[in-house]
Structure 1
Amino acid sequence: MKNVEVNNKQDLHLEQQDAAPILEDIEIDLLCEGIFRHYGFDFRQYARASLARRIRNFMELENIEFVSDLQNKILHNRQVMERFLLNLSVNVTSMFRDVGMYMTFREKIIPILHTYPSIRIWHAGCSTGEEVYSLAILLQEEQLADKATIYATDINEAAIKKAKAGIFPLQVMQEYTTNYLKAGGKQEFSRYYTAKYEHAILSPELRSRVVFAKHNLVTDSSFNEFTVIFCRNVMIYFNEELRSHVHQLLYNSLCRFGTLILGSQETIRFTPIHLQYKILDEQHSIFQKRI
């Protein structure tokens, strides 16, 4: 009789283990639906494996055991929602991080931009601004800053606020300086910031070149026509349907012969509009709109 009870308990435990991933999937569906209805942020078509991993990481930080408990906190506490957004949307980033891309941009795209009377650049998914300011420095050194406006957008208001401030820990400046020099920097990197209280404050001139705003690639439409669009390492978190939607949005936002720059692991290949682009540099995912 005892053996039967033990076996029953083991079977029940195994059933619960088998059910756990299914229940979590249901809870994540409900969480995404609740966030969409209450806050308007649509994560329902994000790549599930990546989304689930980030949700688990956030739950560990917040000491929350179940996704359903997380949903309760998010729907009833905006501060939790803001922290969740920050955890979900901010990627590992640094100034001039992708050295090869910036070198290629200088060599292949800058000469094209010199032919335009004015330039509008959209940095979609700007996070906390490191890559945006890298671009602002590059344009300044290539004598394009006076005719260029950079529009930097992100889904996360906290990230935008941090990006607007242009303040970074002083301890990362050595790494940023190394990246800058490898990316073809032409000045002393220290001329672009002021060191104060263990922080580096970027120059007001650089910050004035950028217009920061909240924008959701999933739910918002295009807001201008752009000469260049950076959308790097954003769509890796989307499923195929959502990527197609965003690719169409970016295509519609580019001017004729405009340039699209994706992350190094991203491409327009196998998308419905891949024939509408010319590959300028496949290694660094730089493409030109054909018409």
Structure 2
Amino acid sequence: MDASELDCIEMDLFVQALQKRHGHDFTQYAPASLKRRVHLLADQLECRSITGLTERMLHEPALLPRVLEGLTVPMSDMFRDPDMFRALREQVFPLLASYPHINIWQAGCAHGQEVYSLAILLEEAGLYERTQIFATDLSDRALQRASEGIYPAQEAQQWSRNYQAAGGRRSLADYCSAGYKLLKLNQRLRRNVTFAVHNLATDGVFCEAHVILCRNVLIYFSNTLQNRALSLFRDSLVRAGFLCLGARENIDRSPVARAFVPFSEPQRIYRLASHLDDIAE
């Protein structure tokens, strides 16, 4: 048996152990991406092999939050893909302005950079006071970091450029404070944010939402799991609600695609069809 075959066996055992021991199902995550993350996690935790990581995970329950964060948290930035945020500000928010209350679901929020980006844009658009943002992730540890809103100060210049490119009306410095090489977002930005654990692989509809953002998450899923997540989003959106995906993601090959129509396709913003009753499952 060569090293590649042995590696596949170790991966299968790791995924099975994670599911049976802790109830987290990663069987439908993209294999190549999951394998990279597991190897990186094993190195970070100084395990000699995936088997060593599996053994520690089985016998050290306190390690689970670190494992889940390593497997699920993608990298993100404030106002990542500024054109998408500009499209939200200029094209989507004006259509939401007629609602007395707005629900936004940020699925896979990671460390919260996009959550605070949304809060800033909503505040500048005069919509934040009647908006509730539900920020969800599989990882408790990621949600804790998102709730704190503290990031390396070295990111500030790039984030400020992103903010201006997204149509920011003020200075990003108005929304944060810096010190000790850290950047802390003003806590007033999270006054209408609820952070909660939600697993797109196993959990059901989370809320009724006018906008759902799930950006750079589906690329780590198999086709089956992508379809499951998109079905959840379809069932969670109000009629004619908006779905925002990542720059490398689209719904074209999904059987759920018929439920959505492109709204701003270059920015991967879709709208739930208003004639869903006529769409066959």
TM-score by length of 1: 0.91
Between the aligned partners of 2:181 and 2:239, the Cα distance in structure 1 is 45
SS at match of 1:32: helix
Q: Deviations over 1:221-273 (max 9, x none)?
A: 11211000001111111111111111111110111000000111111111111
Alpha-carbon shift at residue 207 of structure 1 (Å): 1.6
Paired letter, 2:21: H
Counterpart in 1 of 2:245?
262
Residues 143-222 of structure 1: matches in 2 within 5 Å? 143-222=126-205
1-structure distance, mates of 2:224, 2:69: 24
> Structure 2 CA distance, aligned partners of 1:79 and 1:93?
26
The normalised TM-score by structure 2 is 0.94
Tell whether 2:221 aligns with 1:274.
Answer: no
- Measure how far apart 1:119 and its partner are: 0.4
Which residue matches 2:279?
Answer: none
SS in 2 for 1:131: helix
1:101 aligned to 80, 84, 93, which one?
Answer: 84
- CA-atom RMSD in angstroms: 1.2
Q: Which amino acid aligns with 1:236?
A: I
- In structure 2, how many angstroms separate the alpha carbons of the residues matched to 1:224 and 1:82? 25
Q: Equivalent of 1:289, from 272, 276, 279?
A: 272
C-alpha distance after superposition, 1:12-31 (max 9, x if no partner): xxxx4xx3212221221111
CA contact (8 A) 1:117 1:147 kept: yes
- Determine the structure 1 residue equivalent to 2:73: 90
* Partner of residue 61 from structure 1, selected from 44, 47, 51: 44
Q: Which of the numbers 21, 28, 35 marks the counterpart of 1:52?
A: 35
Match of 1:233 in 2: 216
Please say if 1:130 is aligned against 2:105: no
Percent identity, please.
Answer: 39
The amino acid that maps onto 2:129 is D
Moved more, 50-59 or 191-200: 191-200
Deviations 1:52-83 (A, max 9, x none): 11111112222322222211011111333222
Q: CA deviation at 1:205?
A: 1.3
Distance 1:138 1:112 in 2: 15
AA aligned to 1:160 is: L
- Map of 1:117 onto structure 2: 100
1:116 aligned counterpart, secondary structure = coil
Alpha carbons 1:225, 1:255 under 8 Å: kept: yes
Distance 2:206 2:249 in 1: 24
Post-superposition Cα deviations, 1:127-160, rounded to whole Å, max 9, x if no partner, equal 0000110000000000000111100000011110
SS at match of 2:267: coil
| Residue 37 of structure 1: how far off its partner (Å) | 1.4
Matched, 1:79 2:62: yes
What SS class does the counterpart of residue 283 from structure 1 fall into?
Answer: helix
Counterpart of 2:278 in structure 1 is none
Distance 1:161 1:278 in 2: 35
What is the number of equivalent residue pairs in this alignment?
274
Q: Distance in 2 between matches of 1:196 and 1:64?
A: 35
SS of the aligned residue for 2:7 comes to: helix
1:75–1:81 CA contact under 8 A, matched in 2: no
Instruction: Tell me which structure has the larger Cα radius of gyration.
Output: 1
Which string of whole-angstrom CA distances, capped at 9 and with x for unpartnered residues, describes residues 177-222 of structure 1? 1111111100121111122333222112102121101111111111
3-state DSSP of counterpart to 1:273: helix
Q: In the aligned structure 1, how far is the partner of 2:269 from the partner of 2:210?
A: 13
Code of the residue aligned with 1:105 in structure 2: it is: L
Q: Which amino acid aligns with 1:26?
A: I
Q: Could you tell which deviates more after superposition, 217-226 or 122-131?
A: 217-226
Of stretches 245-254 and 188-197 in structure 1, the one that deviates more from structure 2 is 188-197
Kindly indicate whether residue 122 of structure 2 is the aligned counterpart of residue 139 of structure 1: yes
Matched, 1:28 2:11: yes
1:46 aligned counterpart, secondary structure: coil
Alignment gaps of 5+ in structure 2: 275-281
CA distance in 2, matches of 1:203, 1:53: 35
Q: Which of 230, 236, 246 is 1:253 aligned to?
A: 236
